[in-house]
Amino acid sequence: MKILKSALVTTLWIATLIFLFSCKKDQVKQDMIATSASSTSETILAPSGTWSAIAPFGGGQRAFAVSFSIGNKGYIVSGFDRSAGTGALYEYSPQSNCWTLKSDFKGIQRSSAIGFSIGNKGYIGLGSGKKDFWEYDPATDQWTKKADFPGGNRSLAVGFNIGNKGYAGTGSTDAMPFHQDFWEYNPATDQWTKKADFPGSPRFAALGISINNKGYIGFGIDKDTEGLRDFYEYNPITDSWIKKEDIPGFGRTFSAGYSIDNKGFISGGYSPLALEFKGYLKDFWQYDQETGSWIQLPNLPGVGRQAPVGFSIGNNGYIGTGYNVDEGYEQSDIYVFKWDN
């Protein structure tokens, strides 16, 4: 837990540090890593894909940040490096392989927040013991404060969207270190509604993603285990949860994920059992919503890391930044995964 404790101390809001970044005209040379995934079962043939390095994050080294995508752009905001927290927001264009500094987040600087997009707007909130919630409009490059999260101040929670609604839950507070409550946000009315509690053990540092019209929460830390493996599916129509297959391999905390079509993708995180990697994970997994099964894909390049970010643009997925105490602490490298044709 020493890594977690040091990260939480660092997340205290400090003076703002804004990184200035200008895009280079020449596209950053990509570091190509092509590997074919092996099947984890005799009856399931895993597809193969290629990781490539994109331009390093425009804000420099970063961990415990928030990411989301809107249209054909990706966004990373908040988090911290070794010297300070930041509210700087950067937009990534895959067409130019360039990061552009946008309007600073207007809330108090924080890390371990939640973030997601609904339609053509981005949302960020909670984190570092906060309950405020904000909307970002890329068309105007403006931030608007929305209704506070009714579950109270929260750190290390999860958040995702399903259709035109947002969802948030689990996490930690000083008074109650492990939570399992779950809430729905309606941007049309700017209101939060309590939904069925997450059925797994109360936890923080879990992973939350959505695939099509379902939500998923898994992994994290509860009162007994640092690095859970369980995985649950949420149906917003019935307001009900179903336990799905555990992720193979290591249980984990502080991992990143994204979804494309009917698949979810997960990488990174921390496990005290991963001695070969000194705890910092880089394995990469695909979850198939239709079959409910996991397949291991080529490892994330670079160093293993906890608290990276993940997002998708079109048919491509992006994972990067994050934290590794043995490899220079915060990281700035980001990679895109593309299927082999």
Which tens digit of pLDDT belongs to each residue from 172-227?
A: 998 899 999 999 999 999 999 999 999 999 999 999 999 999 999 999 999 999 99
Q: What is the pLDDT at residue 208?
A: 98
pLDDT 10s digits, 239-276: 999 999 999 989 999 999 999 999 999 999 999 999 88
**What element of type H or E holds 217?**
strand 214-218
Spatial separation of the C-alpha atoms in residues 221 and 201, rounded to whole Å: 9
Q: What is the pLDDT at residue 13?
A: 31
End-to-end Cα distance, the chain: 42
Spatial separation of the C-alpha atoms in residues 214 and 192, rounded to whole Å: 18
Largest pairwise CA distance in the chain? 54
Mapped onto helix, strand or coil, the DSSP state of residue 198 is coil
Q: What is the pLDDT at residue 341?
A: 67
Q: Which residues contact 77 (CB under 8 A, 6 or more apart)?
A: 65, 66, 67, 87, 88, 89, 90, 105, 115, 124, 136
Looking up tokens 């009900």 gives 240
Partners of 117 in the β-ladder: 122
In contact, 324 and 304? CB cutoff 8 Å? yes
Q: What is the pLDDT at residue 319?
A: 98
Spatial separation of the C-alpha atoms in residues 223 and 63, rounded to whole Å: 24
Mapped onto helix, strand or coil, the DSSP state of residue 48 is coil
Measure Cα distances from 293 to 191, 212, 245, 259 in Å: 35, 16, 7, 15
Spatial separation of the C-alpha atoms in residues 112 and 50, rounded to whole Å: 29
Q: What is the pLDDT at residue 22?
A: 34
In contact, 104 and 154? CB cutoff 8 Å? no
Measure Cα distances from 4 to 156, 235, 254, 327 in Å: 11, 31, 9, 16
CA angle, 321 as apex, 210 and 325 as ends, to 5°?
120
Mapped onto helix, strand or coil, the DSSP state of residue 75 is strand
Tell me the whole-structure pTM to 2 decimals. 0.88
Spatial separation of the C-alpha atoms in residues 110 and 157, rounded to whole Å: 13
Mapped onto helix, strand or coil, the DSSP state of residue 177 is coil
Per-residue pLDDT of the chain in tens (341 residues, 90 and over written 9): 433 333 333 333 323 222 323 343 333 333 333 333 333 333 344 668 999 999 999 999 999 999 999 999 999 999 998 777 899 999 999 999 999 999 999 999 999 999 999 999 999 999 999 999 999 999 999 999 999 999 999 999 999 999 999 999 999 998 899 999 999 999 999 999 999 999 999 999 999 999 999 999 999 999 999 999 999 999 999 999 999 999 998 999 999 999 999 999 999 999 999 988 899 999 999 999 999 999 999 999 999 999 999 999 999 999 999 999 999 899 999 999 998 86
The one-character DSSP state at 307 is S
For residue 236, give both structure tokens. Answer: 């917003």
Spatial separation of the C-alpha atoms in residues 265 and 70, rounded to whole Å: 18
Contacts by 270-275, CB closer than 8 A, 24 or more apart: 270/3, 270/4, 270/227, 270/306, 271/226, 271/227, 272/226, 272/227, 273/227, 274/250, 274/304
Instruction: Match domain 2-339 to its CATH number in 1.10.10.10, 2.60.40.1930, 2.120.10.80, 1.10.3720.10.
Output: 2.120.10.80
The one-character DSSP state at 275 is G
Q: What is the pLDDT at residue 146?
A: 98
> Amino acid identity, residue 41?
S
Q: What is the pLDDT at residue 12?
A: 32
